Structure 1
Amino acid sequence: MTTFDYAIDIALIAIVLLQIKEAPVTLRGLLRPLALIGVSVAHYLTSVPTAGNDLVLELSLLGAGLSIGVASGLVAHMRRSETGDALVRAGWASAAFWVLGMGARMAFIYAMTHGWRAPVATFSMHHAITSDQAWVVALLLMAVAEAVGRIAVIQTRARRIRRGGAATVGATAAPVAA
């Protein structure tokens, strides 16, 4: 792994860990992970292989990332502030889902650069995955889907809370101004 890989992964993990402290849901806060992932996509995406089972791999990791992101957003603690703003706090479960996705990618990349290249090549050959770039695209799609899934769930829940609705899964008691 390069210093760039470590820096991006650590920054993405830090974003959610920083949300353990309750804060208002803002567009800037929601888009920050996408900006970091966008840097990775711009850095690593050179092509999108679709031969053999490349697309199956890519869509599988996209689905895994989306599932992890949605789960992270669903278990985040959200409530309405006295001023009507939606507040979010990641909580340990939400952070754990996010770190699971980011950590899994980081561990895979680390393993690939520390002795697992041959087993992954053998797996790829047996499953008709045609290139290293298919793995790159799959991991990028997983990261994007994880961020988009979490953002979509939190934004949907925040909109509902701002309109006076209750926060659902992962909710904390919402104080209501009289």
Structure 2
Amino acid sequence: MSFMDWVIDLALIGLVMLQLRGRQLSTKMLLLPIVLVGWAWTHYLRDIPTSGNSLVLIVSATLVGLALGIGAGILTHVYRNADGEVIAQATITAAVLWVLGVGFRLAFQLYATHGGKEAIGRFSIRHDLDTDAWTAAVLLMAFGEVFARTAIVWWRGQAARRQPHQVPARTT
């Protein structure tokens, strides 16, 4: 794992953790996670292997990422405060879903780069997976999670801008 891998993973976790208290929804706040995974995409994704069962792995990982992102987006409160600012406030459950996805990818990257490479290789051979499929799967999972959550929070932010000021009831 490179220094940038750590920065991206920890920044993605930090962005949602900061929202536990509620933060003003801004273009920067929405675009930063997309820029982070976009950087990883351009630096690591060479192709999307389709041989053997590679596409099954990639599609499955992408769907898991989308599901986690949709859950985190739906479970994030988006509302206008008394000053008329649109606020995004992640619930504990939203943060858990987000960290679950980012944490899984971080753990897999650590395993792959610190002793797990041979086991992943054997697993790939047994299940007819191209070794590059893992990179595509992890990146598309991240992109799906980030894109889904960002799209939902953005959409809900647009709806909140059209609503009168309100503060949501506290839920987890």
Q: Does 1:162 align with 2:167?
A: no
Q: Does 1:31 align with 2:31?
A: yes
Partners of 2:57 and 2:69 in 1: how far apart? 18
Match for 2:149: what amino acid? R
Match for 2:145: what amino acid? E
Partners of 2:63 and 2:141 within 8 A in 1: yes
Equivalence for 2:99: 99
Return 5+ residue gaps in structure 1 as ranges: none
Equivalent residue in structure 2 for 1:172, among 160, 168, 171: 168
Matched position secondary structure for 1:19: helix
CA-to-aligned-CA distance 1:125-148 (integer Å, 9 cap, x gap): 1221122x1100110000110001
Number of aligned residue pairs: give it: 170
Matched position secondary structure for 1:68: helix
Give the superposition deviation at 1:2. Answer: 2.2
Equivalence for 2:59: 59
Return 5+ residue gaps in structure 2 as ranges: none
Partners of 2:113 and 2:5 in 1: how far apart? 12
Bigger CA drift: 121-130 or 30-39?
121-130
Match for 2:168: what amino acid? T
CA-to-aligned-CA distance 1:54-100 (integer Å, 9 cap, x gap): 11111111100000011111111222223444211113221111111
Partners of 2:143 and 2:85 in 1: how far apart? 27
Match for 2:42: what amino acid? A
Match for 2:138: what amino acid? L
Identity of aligned residues (%): 37
Give the superposition deviation at 1:165. Answer: 7.8
Runs of at least 4 residues off by over 3 Å: none
Partners of 1:95 and 1:157 in 2: how far apart? 17
Equivalence for 2:18: 18
Match for 1:135: what amino acid? W
The verdict on how the C-alpha distance between 1:129 and 1:166 changes in structure 2, with shifts beyond 3 A counting, is farther
Partners of 1:35 and 1:112 in 2: how far apart? 24
Q: Does 1:147 align with 2:143?
A: no
Match for 2:67: what amino acid? S
